[in-house]
Amino acid sequence: MLISFENVTFGYSGVPIIFGATFALHEGERVGFVGENGAGKTTLLRLLTGELSPSEGEIFQKNGIRVGYLEQSGGFSSSSTVYGAMREVFAEDEALLSALHDTQISLSQAKESEYAALSARLESLQKRIAARDSYTYEVRIKTVLGGMGFSGVLTQKVDTMSGGERTKLKLCRLLLETPDLLVLDEPTNHLDLKTLFWLEEYLTSYKGAILVVSHDRYFLDRLTSRTLELEDGRLFSYKGNYSRYKVLKAERVEVERRAYEKQQEEIAKLKDYVSRNIVRATTAKSALSRVNKLERMDVLERPKPPKSAPRFAFSYDTLPYERVLATAPFDLTADGKILLKNAKITVMRGEKIALVGDNGTGKSTLVKFLTSGDGRITLGRYVKVAYYDQENADLDVRARVLDAFWERCPSLSQTDARAVLARAGLGAEDIAKTVGELSGGMRAKLEVAILGTQNANFLVLDEPTNHLDLAAREALEDALEAFDGTLLFVSHDRRFIERLAKKIFAIENCEIKVFEGGYGEYLAAKREPVPEKSAEKPKNEGYRSRQERAKETQKRTRIREIEERIAAIEAEEEALSLRLAEVAADYGAVKEVQAALTALAAESDALYAEYETLI
């Protein structure tokens, strides 16, 4: 057991938000933690990491436990370079390797009287280095930074990076520190699809325990084997991943409902018997026994009805012509960087298209361009576009929520406006606030609610699921799946893409490549060679040329060869270090071993240099 909560209660200003939480985390567990926006998940994490203390109950920790905590906005600060900041994690390993090198040199020059002490020191250092796997620390740094998308910026100063990049670097550092328990609050934020897949693979082989808060259902399903839910201040534990949790929760709610109803029926029968028989001399004794039974009964609380999930709807009045949008060839740049060259896009009526690509390839810039009214863009007749901005920049943070909604939907009555907002999950208390007082999730629900009133037949959405809790994401999926208009959207939510997209636009190497079919077909095309296309089909419908695929295969093969050789070199170095201790009294043998170690170090440096260019 790593950490346990025993009847933990906590609140702010005397108002409890967590009641009697009891659970334990064990070595090697993979636990998902879910709950609606504002349920208190972050508060519980802060209790777990010791930042807060419980009002009641106790929290127990294993002696010496190391906990690594990634906050949602927990950006990493450092004046060092990206690579230098990660090297700081391995200061002890570097010191051990340096001490080993110095000891080896001292042995080669030592007097006979010094051999025993130096040999003992050498053996001790070798054991500590082997236990910590110190020889591989540079490989580990480059593996994590490469997987998280930092290969090209190893020398950039950390403090010059964006908040999202510094949060990712905090995650890199935690992965390298390998704590006993990783506590991750929305670790998939700011990650593109390629990095998401890498992180999943890395965490599945992580040796410590993991507790993760995430709105990424794909991520939770792939990684976790137990799910905690915080609901109305109560903590529930379910065995299984997110999909299994949904089934088990429905079963628990039904069992509680039936138990309550059965007990209420029994109570009613007992009370009825008492009321009819208590005054009769012949039956008074049996009536009193039922009174005693009622008094001893542990009366169940009425189960709270499940909270209504948000409901969204999208409709339109006018059917557009078949071609909804077409562009002339265009280039796209941002901050002096070329994003697209000679690109061309066509969108047909009824298509549901996901726009994907690595971070920084220009997805948000492209959707803004397509909704900008630029002369190179032609909209079909009767097309009405509604655009969702992931930053919600079109909302006045100073305005009341109801007023901000009315400004965009002036034709609705107050009753209708309140009804639309309530269906989106914004109650009377929320709509009296200013937009700036809303959480990110509530602000996103407001924007989606506004979008649903625009009667648009072409929806262009930039990361609409950002900040939405799981129930709201699923509600939005339902609404967009039912929408029979045209949809173009950017999202990092793979379940969202998988359910909605029937075509993929992928930005790769400053080009837009088109993949017919859904997300599964797109992933298959990325992983496997695509059959040759007929001459009539556009060139950009394929994924890569045969030469490009062959080159990529050669690159992966060379990376694997380098990794295997580096591992072999490290094993040879370790064996030679042991040999050095054995031949410490033989000057000639010591020189021979030292020469071999020097040659291996030179080969290792060259391989690392090549490896860096490949990853």
| Spatial separation of the C-alpha atoms in residues 216 and 345, rounded to whole Å | 29
For residue 581, what pLDDT is reported? Answer: 63
Residues 75 and 163 sit within 8 Å (Cβ to Cβ):
yes
Q: 412: Cβ–Cβ under 8 A, 6 or more apart, which residues?
A: 406, 420, 453
Q: What mean pLDDT value characterizes the chain?
A: 87
Q: Average pLDDT of 447-473?
A: 92
Give the pair of three-digit tokens for residue 384: 């009405």
Reduced 3-state DSSP string for 97-144: HHHHHHHHHHHHHCCHHHHHHHHHHHHHHHHHHHHHCHHHHHHHHHHH
Q: Average pLDDT of 337-351?
A: 94
For residue 424, what pLDDT is reported? Answer: 92
| Spatial separation of the C-alpha atoms in residues 398 and 526, rounded to whole Å | 46
If pLDDT is split at 50, 70 and 90, which confidence band does 310 have?
very high
- CATH class of this structure's domain 323-543: alpha beta
For residue 527, what pLDDT is reported? Answer: 66
| Spatial separation of the C-alpha atoms in residues 303 and 458, rounded to whole Å | 42
Q: Read off the pLDDT of residues 359-370 as tens digits, 9 standing for 90 and up.
A: 888 999 999 999
What DSSP assignment string belongs to 161-194? S-HHHHHHHHHHHHHHH--SEEEEESTTTT--HH
In the chain, where are the structural domains located?
Answer: 27-44+179-303, 323-543, 553-614
pLDDT higher than threshold 50 for residue 117: yes
Reduced 3-state DSSP string for 394-418: CCCCCCEHHHHHHHHCCCCCHHHHH
* Residue 544 backbone dihedrals phi, psi, to 5 degrees: -145, 155
pLDDT higher than threshold 70 for residue 85: yes
Q: Read off the pLDDT of residues 367-423 as tens digits, 9 standing for 90 and up.
A: 999 999 999 999 999 999 999 998 877 888 899 999 999 888 888 888 899 999 999
Q: Average pLDDT of 528-549?
A: 47
Map residue 201 onto helix, strand or coil.
helix
Q: Classify residue 428 as exposed, middle or buried by CB count within 10 Å of its CB (0-12, 13-18, 19+).
A: exposed
- CATH class of this structure's domain 27-44+179-303: alpha beta
* Least confident stretch, 264-268, 510-514, 571-575: 571-575
Q: Read off the pLDDT of residues 159-192 as tens digits, 9 standing for 90 and up.
A: 888 777 888 899 999 999 999 999 999 898 878 8
Using DSSP, how many helices (H) and how many strands (E) does the chain show?
20, 20
pLDDT higher than threshold 60 for residue 463: yes
For residue 547, what pLDDT is reported? Answer: 67
Q: Average pLDDT of 487-511?
A: 93
User: Nearest to residue 356, comparing CAs of 522, 190, 600?
Assistant: 522
Asked if domains 27-44+179-303 and 323-543 share a fold, the reply is: yes
Q: 545: Cβ–Cβ under 8 A, 6 or more apart, which residues?
A: none
Q: Read off the pLDDT of residues 564-607 as tens digits, 9 standing for 90 and up.
A: 787 788 778 777 777 766 665 565 676 777 778 778 877 877 87
* Residue predicted with more confidence, 119 or 263: 263
For residue 395, what pLDDT is reported? Answer: 85
Q: What is the pTM of this model?
A: 0.74
Residues 449 and 438 sit within 8 Å (Cβ to Cβ):
no
Percent of the chain with pLDDT over 90: 50
Q: What type of residue is 311? A: R
Q: Average pLDDT of 210-220?
A: 92
* Least confident stretch, 116-125, 265-274, 542-551: 542-551
Q: Read off the pLDDT of residues 558-569 as tens digits, 9 standing for 90 and up.
A: 887 887 787 788
Residue with tokens 């230098």: 84
CA distances from 343 to 326, 333, 353, 509, 525 (A): 11, 12, 17, 11, 21
Percent of the chain with pLDDT over 70: 94
If pLDDT is split at 50, 70 and 90, which confidence band does 532 have?
very low
pLDDT higher than threshold 90 for residue 531: no
For residue 144, what pLDDT is reported? Answer: 93
